[in-house]
Amino acid sequence: MRRSALLASFLGAFVAAAAAQARPFDAETFTLANGLQVAVIANHRAPIATQMVWYKAGADDEPRGKTGIAHFLEHLMFRGTKETPPGAFSRIIAANGGRDNAFTTHDYTAFYQNVAADRLEFVMKLEAERMTGLVITDQVVLPERQVIIEERHSRIDNNPAALLDEQMDAALYLNQRYHDPTIGWESEMRGLATADALAFYGNWYAPNNAVLVIDGDVTVAQVKALAEKYYGPIPARPVPARLALDEPPKVAAIRLTMKSNRVADINWNRAYLAPSYQSGETRYAYALQVLAEVLGGGASSRLYRGLVVDQGIAISAGAFYDPQPRGMASFGFDATLRKDVPVADFEAALEKIVKAALADGLTEDEVARAKSRMQTAAIYDQDGVMGPARIIGAALAAGRTLEDVQNWPDRIGAVTVEEVNAAARLVIHDDVAVTAVLLPQPTS
């Protein structure tokens, strides 16, 4: 056995043993009588705690013509309840030494507070009241609507890379709601009204459609008592069935080219439809994660070594894949080109590397090293308070289980080189890819 293969084997065994000890996150789950799922992650290294409430509703659940309403409601959740005046929620958290925020994706919306452990009961009371007690009128909705429009301008419209990413998603997804941006299309955002927000709130914000995650210096018994006290009295109610739209087969490649005087370098992306944990050929989800690591997961990856180190035609080069969406995911490559490198020359070089991987397959050594790196990263992900809460909350809100999260290192470790090579050949087909190129446009 070569020394590199021996080292990879040793690292794999070491990391698998370490992951087996760290894997459980010291986490437990239970469900209240009203359907609220609760996950508790004990971490006694510091007297702090994080509360996260995840609603299983996001941009994927918006009515047609109302893009952005899920994100808009996220904003409005801070604008007042029966007990908390408009705008006071975050001020109260800050006055108690904590911080809070929220975020919306296509698949879920999450709200969180980071506080001292002895303030956990206080923020649980506040968040539980917000689950059913939202009070909004045109007086607060209309000014907040202008806030989200300005947010779109700053985050998307004034950011060439973000604007092209939005166009790329619209080209990649023909039917699934990932076609539409989470923040919304501005023409539809301008028509969002108080009634739209209240309807989305009434449809989806219910305990039986939510996950509560508590992470920090707590015990399961303590959290269960508090959850029963503050969330338990909230009644369950009917929730609409979530749409599960199929993505039709792609039959053509699409190329997007955009020029901007706000960028100095050429940015290049290519994406392919790919299975996720829950859609498509789901058995390849773990193998695709390993594939992304081998091809573009850092300085030792094939793309970085070939394009950045050996040929010097790119500043950066990598691969991306996230298996978490409820629908189909995307797998792909991205790069920033060196100045004066023709795009065609770069694409020819990248395609040569990728085609060699498809034709010859990856090696046992590459796959073993990639799996070791990924398992090591999983151990570090368990540090802190917010990280584990987000990992577990996102999985549970997307319909997966605590066991899925805990067993992730083992499932990555079980991926074979044959599975990785099969996954690559399943997904990587340039004749149905979406390629997006962002070019500098010098001002005259």
Other C-beta atoms closer than 10 Å to the C-beta of 71 total: 26
- Inter-CA distances, 148 with 133, 201, 331, Å: 22, 17, 29
Q: For the residues of 86-135, what is the DSSP string, one character each?
A: TTHHHHHHHHTT-EEEEEE-SS-EEEEEEEEGGGHHHHHHHHHHHHH-B-
* Closest residue by Cα to residue 240 from 61, 91, 53, 19: 61
Give me the catalytic one of 28, 62, 74, 129: 74
- 342 contacts 271 by C-beta, under 8 angstroms: no
- Is 364 an active-site residue? no
Tokens (6 digits) for 12: 């794999």
Please tell me the distance from the alpha carbon of residue 82 to that of residue 88, in angstroms, as a whole number: 12
- Inter-CA distances, 47 with 50, 58, 116, 218, 401, Å: 11, 32, 6, 9, 27
Please tell me the distance from the alpha carbon of residue 397 to that of residue 325, in angstroms, as a whole number: 10
Tokens (6 digits) for 315: 């500043």
Tokens (6 digits) for 352: 């040569």
* Catalytic residue ranges: 74
